[in-house]
């Protein structure tokens, strides 16, 4: 009791201390793998990590998070793999189930554990029951896939420059890889289907609950009519025509929210249209699940003067959303004092004359109270100093889950001695959000019905993919 009283006095006497508080911390070791075909064959060694990873896939680089099948479990989605299209052609696009055992003021190991994708039961390690793999067995996507070739496509030199046959499990299952899509966001709609926002197009990709593609990719119209290209296209767009790209690479759908009813998506570009005179404007487009088309409604997100990119977007209610905004500086950089990592609330019902949604600071991720030193760094103020922070989930009106993308085997957030781990943090908000009754649409009945085929799909996987 004496310690508690002294702590409260200390907090009251320190006005610079953040009001929002770290209430849970868990960590996934950087070198965590799941079964699969050999990956990393086109990746260069970095930070003490020497690829390839024989008969396995890295479980890292999370760019999206959803509620899992049971309380305390989550679905996490890595992006395209190892940083670019060329070096990620053997990296499978997946979603994993995890069950963090958060370290809190009253206990907890602080370890992120694998979970069964359907039941949420804790697993001793990641295995074929822990994930789904995106695939296009019905040839719905309109462009050529890595799975369609005999050898992995690679135009570089050095590591992986020799011809390497595409793994038979990828070819036979038409599994999607980081050479096909750069998925950065995912939402579950009212029907139990998944929608992935990706950056190479940018495209929207619709799959069923098991990850099977259901329709051709959806392109993004250039709703503002900036420039001559009628579509928004990145340099990696497979249909890029004479108009050229009007979006920089890796500036596609980094953030994507879904309304509580599950019938509207809100896609948020990570960067501005190249020809836009306002280079601090990021475009939000509304998409109808029912018509499977964009509605034509657009909104502007205004970057902070210190901000350069967004990391994620999630719905609070029908008109308010949370957005992670950051710059490219991280914790061990010489200019770390210039880091910018924040979560804002925007309101689409409050738009100014220039089309920008009202924006309010919710969390400064570099200044969070940690009175119980949950990450054990010896400090009572917690910071989240990673270059990419790409996951936010509303747990309740006062609690957020935030996860970093560690860009495995990248580092520079916490350490220079090896790759950064992935940190799962729970933040208690000093001011409650006006959360809708169901912050992210899902019913367990729909979800379990959609996942009924997961077990069958797993049994049909070729033995090589389970080694």
Output the pTM of the full model: 0.91
Q: Please give the residue that has the higher pLDDT: either 124 or 442.
A: 124
> What is the DSSP code string of 126-151?
--TTSEEE-B-TT--SSS--GGGSSB
Q: Kindly state the tokens that stand for 421.
A: 């781990």
Select from 154, 174, 176, 175 the least CA-distant residue to 165: 154
Q: What is the pLDDT of residues 426-463, one digit of tens each?
A: 999 999 999 986 544 444 444 444 555 544 444 434 33
Which residue do the tokens 């006006």 mark? 434
Give the C-alpha separation, 394 to 422, whole Å: 19
Q: What is the pLDDT of residues 7-21, one digit of tens each?
A: 333 333 333 445 799
* Consecutive H or E run containing 441: none
Q: Kindly state the tokens that stand for 430.
A: 């000093």
Q: What is the pLDDT of residues 209-254, one digit of tens each?
A: 999 999 999 999 999 999 999 999 999 999 999 999 999 999 999 9
Yes or no: say if 358 and 351 are a contact pair by the CB < 8 Å rule. yes
- Long-range Cβ contacts of 285-292 (<8 Å, 24+ apart): 285/220, 285/221, 285/223, 287/204, 287/218, 288/263, 288/264, 289/189, 289/190, 289/191, 289/195, 289/262, 289/263, 289/264, 289/265, 290/263, 292/206, 292/215, 292/218
Q: What is the DSSP letter of 465?
A: G
- What kind of fold does domain 38-466 have according to CATH? Tachylectin-2; Chain A (2.115.10)
Longest CA span, the chain? 72
Residues 443-463, buried b or exposed e (16+ Cβ, 10 A)?
eeebbeebbeebeebbeebee
Q: What is the pLDDT of residue 160?
A: 55
Residue 29 has pLDDT above 80, yes or no: yes
């Amino acid at each position: 009791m004496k310690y508690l009283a002294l702590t409260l006095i200390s907090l009251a006497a320190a006005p610079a201390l953040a009001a929002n508080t770290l209430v849970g911390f868990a960590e996934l070791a950087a070198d965590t793998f799941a079964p699969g075909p050999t990956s990393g064959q086109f990746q260069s060694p970095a930070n003490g990590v020497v690829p390839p990873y024989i008969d396995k896939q890295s479980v890292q680089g999370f760019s999206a998070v959803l509620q899992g099948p049971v309380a305390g479990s989550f679905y996490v989605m890595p992006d395209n793999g190892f940083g670019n299209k060329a070096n990620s052609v053997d990296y499978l696009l997946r979603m994993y189930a995890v069950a963090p055992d958060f370290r809190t003021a009253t206990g907890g190991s602080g370890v992120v554990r694998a979970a069964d994708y359907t039941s949420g039961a804790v697993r001793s390690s990641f295995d074929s029951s822990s994930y789904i793999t995106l695939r296009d067995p019905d040839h719905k996507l309109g462009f050529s896939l890595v799975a369609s070739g005999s050898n992995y496509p690679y135009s570089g030199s050095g590591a992986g420059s020799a011809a390497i046959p595409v793994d038979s499990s990828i070819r036979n299952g038409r599994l999607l890889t980081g050479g096909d899509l750069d998925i950065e966001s995912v939402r579950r709609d009212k029907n139990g289907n998944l929608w992935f926002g990706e950056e190479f197009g940018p495209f929207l990709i619709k799959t069923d609950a098991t990850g099977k593609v259901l329709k051709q990719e959806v392109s993004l119209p250039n709703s503002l009519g900036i420039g001559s290209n009628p579509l928004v296209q990145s340099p990696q767009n497979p249909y890029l025509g004479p108009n050229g790209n009007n979006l920089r690479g890796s500036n596609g759908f980094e953030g994507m929210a879904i309304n509580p009813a599950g019938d509207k998506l809100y896609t948020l570009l990570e960067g501005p249209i190249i020809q836009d005179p306002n280079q601090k404007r990021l475009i939000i487009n509304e998409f109808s699940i029912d018509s499977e088309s964009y509605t034509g409604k657009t909104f502007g997100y205004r970057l902070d003067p210190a901000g350069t990119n967004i990391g994620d977007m999630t719905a609070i209610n029908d008109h308010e959303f949370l957005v992670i905004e950051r710059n490219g500086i991280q914790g061990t950089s010489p200019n770390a004092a210039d880091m910018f990592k924040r979560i804002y609330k925007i309101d689409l019902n409050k738009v100014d004359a220039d089309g920008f949604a009202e924006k309010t600071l919710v969390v400064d991720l570099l200044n969070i109270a940690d009175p119980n030193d949950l990450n054990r760094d010896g400090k009572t103020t917690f910071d989240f100093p990673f270059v990419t922070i790409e996951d936010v989930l509303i747990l309740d009106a006062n609690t957020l889950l935030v996860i970093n993308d560690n860009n495995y085997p990248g580092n520079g957030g916490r350490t220079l001695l090896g790759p950064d781990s992935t940190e799962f943090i729970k933040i208690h908000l000093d001011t409650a959000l006006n959360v809708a009754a169901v912050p992210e649409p899902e019913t367990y009945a729909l979800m379990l019905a959609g996942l009924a085929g997961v077990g069958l799909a797993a049994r049909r996987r070729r033995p090589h993919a389970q080694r």
